[in-house]
Structure 1
Amino acid sequence: MTATTQPYTGARPAIPPSTVAQGVLWAFVAVNLLVMWTLFATSDGGKNTILTIAKFFGMHVALIMMFQLLLISRLPFLDRRIGMDRLTVWHRWVGFTLLWFVVAHATFVILGYAALDGVAPWRTFFALASVPATILGMSAATIIVFVAISSVRYARRKMSYETWHAIHFLLYAALLLGLIHQFLEPATFQTSTWSTVYWWALWALVLTSLAMGRVVLPVYRNLYHQFRVAAVVPESDNVVSVYVTGRNLERFPGRAGQFMIWRFPGHNRWWQANPFSLSAAPNGRSLRLTAKGVGKTSSGLRNLRVGNRVFAEGPYGAFTAMHRNSEAMLLIAGGVGITPIRSLLEECGGNIVVLYRAATPADAVLFPELQALAQARGARLHLLTGRTGAGQPPNTPFEPANLLHLVPDITHRDVFVCGPPAMTNAVLRTLRTLRVPKRQVHAEKFGFA
């Protein structure tokens, strides 16, 4: 029998945390656009109309690049409220916007000086290539174009994550070249004292945020906690759990449902890192990750030695009960996506239903733990097995009618979904069809890059 549930209002904030964070982020963009447009309108134009347009695009290139850095700075305030997966998607599309603004800026610069000197654009291109400030700008633009091409889906699928990540590191070179280029362009960025103060203060803010989120905070946490491997436990032929201990773990700020980026110095090369969810709620004594061996790094985890040093970045992600809106929850997992779902079940109380999709019962990783937790929490647990589409009627557990049959009160529940992209997308389509309120839907997708 399914209990009748009502929306939970006791602990729900007046404004959802994600709305607050997005409001702060877009306010940052809006305020700086307004300031930049004011500086542009009150400054002298270029030597001709075309160069004035080039200047307009150039100022936007600088602001877009700063926004790009802010999106990947991994600041806890943004990450825990918006989520790295959504921030990464925004970063991708803002990156392509940056590409077109860079191309537009370069094109108008060449056309503007060609019109000014009365020569062909190609002659102007080679003439500008001899100017130091322009060489730096051209080099930065070339790197941005190269990285953008490598991020197109077709190209991305042809290379490993490590290769793609290494190519992205070139953007730091583009950033340095762009900063020097901006410094050498007084006609655009140093038209007044206020303009100079504004641009360099903004750069200082963004670069400090990037350094804090990507370097200072991870280094500090690893020095403070001194993570080490405490145990390695095979869960099946291709799945292993790694228990990590350390100092002062009672002060570790992780939540059930979050993930960390794990490195194992001495076992793997320093650039080999993997994002694995916490498969148990942090308890102040140890952390646990559970991974399926799908690549060289994850497959080698079962060979880790007890006492091996661990360098862990995080915790990251907004897939937590912080975003819960109602007392009742539906937790849906597929494959190894059970890891954050299992930790959420451990942390959360209330009226909970768990749907675990696996090909066979033998593929249901951590299922005995789920059974024990479900019994302790009073939750209903359903193991959904079999090949999708097989049999008569077809095995389609996440079709609207079938999901509604399993969870009749689904529209009153917070739904947390984690699994392979195809399954996650199928569930999200069904939730839209069933008109589950968007604020009650929380999805974690595999796809760190």
Structure 2
Amino acid sequence: MIIFMVIALNPNSHENPRSPKRPGAHRAATSPTATAEGSALFAERTRRPWGGPRISWPATIVYSATWALFLAVTVMWVHAGGINELNASVSQALGSLGRLTGLIGSMALLIQVFMMARVPFVESALGQDRLTTMHRWLGFSSFSLIMVHILLLIAQDDQSITGMASTFWDMTWNYPGMLLAVAGTAAIIMVVVTSFKAARCSMRYENWHLIHLYGYLGAALAIPHQLWSGSDFMGHPTITALWWALWGITAAAVIVFRVVVPLASSAYFNLRVSQVDVLDNDLVRVRMTGRHLERMRVAGGQYFNWRFAGEGVTRAIPLSLSAYPDGRSLEITAAMVGAKSHRLSTLKPGTRVFIEGPYGRFHKHTKSQPHTVLLGSGTGLMPVISLLETLPVDGTDIVVIARASSSAQLPYHARLEELCALKGAKFYALTGHRSPGSWQPTGHSLDDDTAFKRLVPHLGESDVFICGPNEWMKLAAASARRAGAGEVHSEKFAV
């Protein structure tokens, strides 16, 4: 069943814990006075986050630097006689190709680790969607090249199974740094194996994430053998120094932006749980207060990795804000579907909160088009709500599309109605079971692309923000692009 709703409610109404949902829908005009009051009500009281519209030059710098690094290691290989060795004996050719794949593979690993460091310029330039794609491709590319690197080097002198095993044993125990490299490669293999969908789905997220962190250890252990044993570095102090500098910068970025900055932010803002509410549909809402929140660089729609003092403090929960940051408090809402989210309902006022972030380009400052479309499903409506609250009432079109199995299961139904009335936004609730291969519910009469065009009058001049389950989000984003959306913003909460 599909229900299209354009709704206005009393702006003084608020949704209370365990309050019943309104079963019906109606249409009413929104007065200019109400929208003006709504714009003032949600005036931002925090600092603007890093990043703006996805213009070309920051992304161009990141992509150009990436290709320049790959070109540099190829030049290193050529300078060390790599091409000449290809025309020599089979043994020399295999050794030369082994060094090339090792150099390119280790550079891909370096770039991947740097991308995981959450460097503000890189994240604001690419956005979490592009970073996720680069992370995946660089990860599997570096792993594949490193495996080829190992096979080529141990096969260069003797291609028999016993000969390769003997060479591997000799290299591991007699070459400088090789034992560390073997341990690092084992850690990388463990990370890659657990990254496949089947393995990942069979594990708790926190366990998978802990194993994934071994990628840092693998990278750190795998590098020294190149500098101590590699012919591309031996006798070339300048190249060696530059290689160490690149890895030093990468290590520093990880330490600073994944450890130092989160610890400093947590100490500075001193967030504490102030209120916990259990809502309908197994939702839990947590409000937090702290100090200097008006100085936080955050906007509605962004997300943090949250940790709460006590049992489970080491397990981060990536959740977006479910209300605009007003400079006095932060709010998150989660579905109680796992041990971590269930623990939120047991938090006591005063519990210390540790944060990483804010992250993401899911906020109004990334807009490049005049109009706005907000599309959310399930708890993916939380960043939609906090983003909607910060949008100005300036005469441009705002369209909000909410997906849920039923009207009763639509999170913050009354709050969405109220916000759309305050902002003068069109609100469409698409309810019903999910249709396979579609972002729409079952029973829809239009194909996905046509539905977008019918629901959004100025799609070509609109920023489309999409948040929800990953597979549904991919379908919706692909459909929006095919339908001609001005720009599509869809982000996963974690890499």
Normalised TM-score (structure 2): 0.80
Aligned pair 1:327/2:365, yes or no? no
Partner residue, 1:428: 477
**What is the aligned counterpart of 1:148 among 192, 198, 204?**
192
Partner residue, 2:72: 35
Q: Matches of 2:412 and 2:137 in 1, distance apart?
A: 37
**Paired amino acid for 1:408:** P
**Paired amino acid for 1:310:** V
Contact residue 277 and residue 339 of structure 1 kept, 8 A: yes
Structure 1 residue 161 displacement after superposition: 1.1
**What is the aligned counterpart of 2:491 among 441, 444, 449?**
444
Can you give the 5+ residue segments of structure 1 that lack an aligned partner in the other structure?
3-14
Partner residue, 2:340: 297
Aligned pair 1:281/2:324, yes or no? yes
Aligned pair 1:218/2:262, yes or no? yes
Instruction: Report matched runs for 1:65-76 at 5 Å.
Output: 65-76=109-120
Contact residue 389 and residue 396 of structure 1 kept, 8 A: no
Contact residue 373 and residue 462 of structure 2 kept, 8 A: yes
Contact residue 273 and residue 351 of structure 2 kept, 8 A: yes
Range with greater deviation from structure 2 (250-259 or 16-25)? 16-25
Q: Matches of 1:161 and 1:29 in 2, distance apart?
A: 30
Deviations 1:346-391 (A, max 9, x none): 101232111112222221212222222222211122222233469x
Contact residue 54 and residue 368 of structure 2 kept, 8 A: no
Partner residue, 1:114: 158
Range with greater deviation from structure 2 (360-369 or 292-301)? 360-369
Partner residue, 1:123: 166
Contact residue 18 and residue 82 of structure 1 kept, 8 A: no
**What is the aligned counterpart of 1:180 among 224, 246, 250?**
224
When residues 425 and 127 of structure 1 are mapped into structure 2, their CA distance, relative to the original with a 3 A threshold, is: closer
Structure 1 residue 210 displacement after superposition: 1.4
**Paired amino acid for 1:87:** L
Structure 1 residue 396 displacement after superposition: 5.8
When residues 428 and 34 of structure 1 are mapped into structure 2, their CA distance, relative to the original with a 3 A threshold, is: closer
Partner residue, 1:272: 315
Report the secondary structure of 1:423's partner residue.
helix
**Paired amino acid for 1:261:** N
Runs of 4+ in 1 over 4 A off after TM superposition: 44-47
Higher RCO (CA 8 Å, separation ≥ 6 residues):
2
Contact residue 259 and residue 276 of structure 1 kept, 8 A: yes
Partner residue, 2:300: 256
Structure 1 residue 334 displacement after superposition: 1.1
When residues 402 and 110 of structure 1 are mapped into structure 2, their CA distance, relative to the original with a 3 A threshold, is: closer
Contact residue 74 and residue 104 of structure 2 kept, 8 A: no
Q: Matches of 1:389 and 1:204 in 2, distance apart?
A: 49
Structure 1 residue 337 displacement after superposition: 0.9
Contact residue 254 and residue 282 of structure 1 kept, 8 A: yes
Contact residue 233 and residue 242 of structure 1 kept, 8 A: yes
Structure 1 residue 419 displacement after superposition: 1.6
Q: Matches of 2:230 and 2:432 in 1, distance apart?
A: 66
Contact residue 304 and residue 318 of structure 2 kept, 8 A: yes
Partner residue, 1:7: none
Deviations 1:85-113 (A, max 9, x none): 43123212211111111111111211224
Report the secondary structure of 2:380's partner residue.
helix
Can you give the 5+ residue segments of structure 2 that lack an aligned partner in the other structure?
1-5, 7-28, 30-51, 86-90
Deviations 1:135-182 (A, max 9, x none): 222222222222211211222122111221122222233223213323
Normalised TM-score (structure 1): 0.88
Deviations 1:316-368 (A, max 9, x none): 11112222122211111111111111111110123211111222222121222
**Paired amino acid for 1:323:** T
Q: Matches of 1:362 and 1:356 in 2, distance apart?
A: 12
**What is the aligned counterpart of 1:193 among 228, 237, 240?**
237
Q: Matches of 1:236 and 1:265 in 2, distance apart?
A: 26
**What is the aligned counterpart of 1:401 among 431, 450, 474?**
450
Contact residue 240 and residue 301 of structure 1 kept, 8 A: yes
Contact residue 279 and residue 339 of structure 1 kept, 8 A: yes
**What is the aligned counterpart of 1:63 among 102, 107, 114?**
107
Partner residue, 2:213: 169
Contact residue 235 and residue 365 of structure 1 kept, 8 A: no
Q: How many residues align?
A: 430
Q: Matches of 1:161 and 1:441 in 2, distance apart?
A: 27
Range with greater deviation from structure 2 (345-354 or 46-55)? 46-55
Report the secondary structure of 2:443's partner residue.
coil
Contact residue 83 and residue 316 of structure 1 kept, 8 A: no
Contact residue 452 and residue 483 of structure 2 kept, 8 A: no
Superposition RMSD on alpha carbons, in Å? Answer: 2.6
Deviations 1:40-87 (A, max 9, x none): 222355783322222222222321111011111111222233223431
**Paired amino acid for 1:111:** A
Contact residue 273 and residue 352 of structure 2 kept, 8 A: yes
Q: Matches of 2:324 and 2:482 in 1, distance apart?
A: 32
Structure 1 residue 259 displacement after superposition: 0.5
Instruction: Report matched runs for 1:42-57 at 5 Å.
Output: 42-43=79-80, 48-57=92-101
Aligned pair 1:411/2:448, yes or no? no
Q: Matches of 1:196 and 1:233 in 2, distance apart?
A: 57
Q: Matches of 2:381 and 2:445 in 1, distance apart?
A: 19
